[in-house]
Amino acid sequence: MNIDNIKKQFPIFDNKVQNNDLVYLDSANSSQKPKVVVDRIYDFYTKEFSNVGRSVHYLAVAATNLYENTRTLVQKYINASDPNEIVFTKGATEAINLVANTFGQKFLQEGDEILLTELEHHSNYVPWHYLRRSKGVKIKFAEFNSDGEVTIESIEKNITSKTKMIAITHLSNVTGAILPIKEITRLAHSKNIPVLVDGCQGAPHLKLDMQDIGCDFYAISCHKMYGPTGLGVLYAKKKWLDALPPYQGGGGMIREVKKEGITFGDLPNKYEAGTMATAQVIAFGESIKFLNKIGIENIEAYESQLTQYGEEVLRKNNSVKLIGSPKNKGSVLSFTLDGIHAHDIATILDEDGVAIRAGHHCCQILHDKLGLSATARASLGVYNTKEDIDKLNESLNKCKKIFDR
């Protein structure tokens, strides 16, 4: 894989940021965008714009076809069995809210349990929390171990006869642990429990095969996947999308509207009320093509090598303490630096053009358990290099120098 060639496809790296070459290590937060994606948005608005699915004029038909093309591209990319199993949302957050809300409404009662993990991002906890209040359901958290991993045993011991849903991350955005989601799904299904996977961190980095994983729901954040903001994907097995009630009501999702009652449209319209993020969906098709061109297997291999290199470099730096050491680790390097708060690190690194994230990364439960109020996090994307890691390490040494004066 020729990394130079890939980096050149991202216009953000053409310009200096505060007089520095950009070392972008915040892709777990949001990835940069290749030119094909940016251009697609421009071209759509300047040459092809129309709303989709409603009018019969030329532009409307063409735009509808483009929109539906992306649905098929996503279906194939994740190996879903039907394009109608792909629902576009405003983000992974909305995708999880959609499931929590509709599943909760239809299937949950007081005393039922939802099993999450302590690694979850707030977006895979808060939507379920509402069901605590509205339905009286109980939320349990499978613990992570000292390596920052959640094992199948940790899941298993928390399952009871009351467990009605298991909602877990694919890849922790703090420890980088890749969860055994396929095995967890097998276990859950053997007990008739559906599984939702928060794939925000998994989808940009790992090969996805819904037939192989077997999960019932998989939530994707498009802006972390070299795509536009304001867009997410909910993959859901057709049997669930048929069984669950609609989420939001509005135009486009109905079949017949009468004063005395309403019938709802077929899939996928049932879950796509109102005018959708049309330009973003169409541009996201280019993100999928971009990933396909490089090959997700190549990306996985390259990023895994780079993550290992990052771990080695940071472990050699005596002041750095890495958070978690999972055996199966994705492109995330969270750490603390002796005596220097994460926000001070981030500010000092920023001066060198090194962009990282500092804080709790929307994982307060994880940070509370570790007794940390904040950590620093460097996260990788397809455009990162070993030089970026070296630059990170150099700037971390500069932090020490400033603070040890």
Partner 1 sequence: MELKELYQEIILDHGKNPRNLKKSDNFNKDAAGHNPLCGDKVHVFLKVDENNKISDIAFEGSGCAISMASASIMTDLMKEKKEVEVRELVDDFLEMIKKNPELKSKILAEDEKTKLMSLSGVKKYPMRVKCATMAWHTLTSAMQNSNKEKSD
364 is a site residue for partner 1 (CB under 8 A)? yes
Are the C-beta atoms of 171 and 40 separated by less than 8 Å?
A: no
Site for partner 1, residues 43 to 72, rule: CB under 8 A: none
Q: How far is the CB of 42 from partner 1 (least distance, A)?
A: 30
DSSP, res 90: S
Q: How far is the CB of 291 from partner 1 (least distance, A)?
A: 32
The token pair at 187 is 């276990």
Q: Which amino acid is at 365?
A: I
Q: How far is the CB of 174 from partner 1 (least distance, A)?
A: 13
Q: Binding string to partner 1 for residues 292 to 331, with x set by CB under 8 A, is what?
A: ----------------------------------------
Q: Considering the complex, state which of residue 195 and residue 348 has its C-beta at the smaller distance from partner 1.
A: 348
Site for partner 1, residues 19 to 48, rule: CB under 8 A: none
155 is a site residue for partner 1 (CB under 8 A)? no
Q: How far is the CB of 400 from partner 1 (least distance, A)?
A: 12
Q: What phi, psi does 238 have (nearest 5°)?
A: -55, -35
Per DSSP, the three-state class of 225 is: coil
- Residue from 209, 242, 351, 394 that binds partner 1 (CB under 8 A)? 351
339 is a site residue for partner 1 (CB under 8 A)? yes
How many residues bind to partner 1 according to rule CB under 8 A?
19
In order of 52, 58, 60, 61, 274, the CA distances from 55 in angstroms are 7, 9, 6, 7, 14
- The residue range among 136-144, 225-233, 311-319, 333-341 that interacts with partner 1, by the rule CB under 8 A, is 333-341
Residues 6+ apart with CB under 8 A from 266: 84, 255
402 is a site residue for partner 1 (CB under 8 A)? yes
- Residue from 187, 374, 385, 390 that binds partner 1 (CB under 8 A)? 374
What is the rounded distance in angstroms from the CA atom of residue 339 to the CA atom of residue 284? Answer: 42
Are the C-beta atoms of 267 and 241 separated by less than 8 Å?
A: yes
What is the rounded distance in angstroms from the CA atom of residue 2 to the CA atom of residue 127? Answer: 41
What is the rounded distance in angstroms from the CA atom of residue 293 to the CA atom of residue 296? Answer: 9
- The residue range among 94-102, 210-218, 261-269, 351-359 that interacts with partner 1, by the rule CB under 8 A, is 351-359
The token pair at 198 is 């928060």
DSSP, res 297: H
Q: How far is the CB of 61 from partner 1 (least distance, A)?
A: 45
- Residue from 134, 305, 328, 373 that binds partner 1 (CB under 8 A)? 373
Q: Considering the complex, state which of residue 241 and residue 342 has its C-beta at the smaller distance from partner 1.
A: 342
Q: Which of 129, 171, 121, 165 is nearest to 149 (CA)?
A: 171
| Sign of the alpha-carbon torsion through 102, 107, 112, 118 | negative
- Residue from 33, 360, 377, 391 that binds partner 1 (CB under 8 A)? 360
- Residue from 358, 365, 382, 392 that binds partner 1 (CB under 8 A)? 358
Q: How far is the CB of 381 from partner 1 (least distance, A)?
A: 22
Sheet containing 332-337: give its strands across. Answer: 320-322, 332-337, 375-379, 357-359
Q: Considering the complex, state which of residue 270 and residue 361 has its C-beta at the smaller distance from partner 1.
A: 361
- Residue from 343, 386, 387, 397 that binds partner 1 (CB under 8 A)? 343
Site for partner 1, residues 114 to 153, rule: CB under 8 A: none
347 is a site residue for partner 1 (CB under 8 A)? yes
**Catalytic residue set:** 362
Q: Which of 346, 377, 379, 353 is nearest to 22 (CA)?
A: 353
DSSP, res 340: B
Are the C-beta atoms of 204 and 219 separated by less than 8 Å?
A: no
Q: How far is the CB of 373 from partner 1 (least distance, A)?
A: 4
Q: Considering the complex, state which of residue 92 and residue 348 has its C-beta at the smaller distance from partner 1.
A: 348
342 is a site residue for partner 1 (CB under 8 A)? yes
Q: Which of 326, 344, 324 is nearest to 335 (CA)?
A: 324
What is the rounded distance in angstroms from the CA atom of residue 52 to the CA atom of residue 66? Answer: 9
Question: Which residues make up the interface to partner 1 (CB under 8 A)?
Answer: 339-344, 347-348, 351, 358-360, 364, 367, 373-374, 402-403, 405
